[in-house]
Amino acid sequence: MTINVLFAAGSERFDLYRPHLEQGLADAGIAANLTTDAAPDQVDYIIYAPDSTLRDFTPYTRCKAVLNLWAGVEAIVGNDTLTQPLARMVDHGLTQGMIEWVTGHTLRHHLGMDIHIHGQDGHWRSEIPAPPLAAERSVTILGLGALGAACAKALVGLGFNVSGWSNSPKTIEGVTCYHGAHQLSNALKGAEIVILLLPATPQTENTLNAETLSHLARGAVLINPGRGPLIDDAALLAALDSGQVGHATLDVFRVEPLPADDPYWAHPNVTVVPHKASETRPHTAAQVIVENIRRGQSGLPFLHLVDRTAGY
Ligand code: NAP
Catalytic hit among 18, 92, 179, 275: 275
For the chain, the farthest-separated pair of C-alpha atoms sits apart, in whole angstroms, at 73
Q: What's the fold here for domain 92-272?
A: Rossmann fold (3.40.50)
CA dihedral 217, 223, 224, 225 (to 10 degrees): -150
Name the residue at shortest CA distance from atom 32 of ligand 1: 199
Q: Specify the length of the chain in residues.
A: 312
Predicted confidence (pLDDT) per residue in 244-294, tens digit: 999 999 999 999 999 999 999 999 999 999 999 999 999 999 999 999 999
Choice from 101, 167, 195 to test ligand 1 binding pocket (greatest atom count within 8 A of CB):
167
Q: Annotate 37-76 with b (16+ C-beta within 10 A) or e (fewer).
A: ebebeebbbbbbbeebebeebeebeebbbbbbbbbbbbbb
Q: How far is the CA of 198 from the centre of ligand 1 (A)?
A: 4
Q: Does domain 3-91+280-298 have CATH number 3.40.50.720?
A: yes
Looking at residue 228, its pLDDT comes to 98
Active site residue 137: no
Looking at residue 92, its pLDDT comes to 96
Q: What is the mean pLDDT of the chain?
A: 97
Is the whole model's pTM more than 0.95, yes or no? yes
Which residues contact ligand 1 via a Cβ below 6 A?
A: 71-72, 90, 94, 143-148, 165-168, 197-201, 203-204, 225-227, 251-252, 275, 277-278, 312
Looking at residue 197, its pLDDT comes to 99
Domain positions in the chain are 3-91+280-298, 92-272
Name the residue at shortest CA distance from atom 17 of ligand 1: 167
Predicted confidence (pLDDT) per residue in 224-234, tens digit: 999 999 999 99
Contact 142, 187 (CB under 8 A): yes
Predicted confidence (pLDDT) per residue in 16-50, tens digit: 999 999 999 999 999 999 999 999 999 999 999 99
Averaged over 237-245, what is the pLDDT?
98
Q: How far is the CA of 116 from the centre of ligand 1 (A)?
A: 34
Averaged over 149-171, what is the pLDDT?
98
Predicted confidence (pLDDT) per residue in 177-219, tens digit: 999 999 999 999 999 999 999 999 999 999 999 999 999 999 9
Q: How far is the CA of 251 from the centre of ligand 1 (A)?
A: 15
Active site residue 227: yes
91 pLDDT band, cuts 50/70/90, is very high
307 pLDDT band, cuts 50/70/90, is very high
The H or E element that residue 114 is part of is helix 113-117
Q: How far is the CA of 245 from the centre of ligand 1 (A)?
A: 23
Number of the ligand 1 atom closest to the C-alpha atom of 200: 34
Phi and psi at residue 68, in whole multiples of 5°? -80, 135
Name the residue at shortest CA distance from atom 2 of ligand 1: 145
CA dihedral 179, 180, 185, 186 (to 10 degrees): -30
Looking at residue 265, its pLDDT comes to 98
Predicted confidence (pLDDT) per residue in 48-77, tens digit: 999 999 999 999 999 999 999 999 999 999
Looking at residue 20, its pLDDT comes to 98
**3-91+280-298 and 92-272 in the same fold:** yes
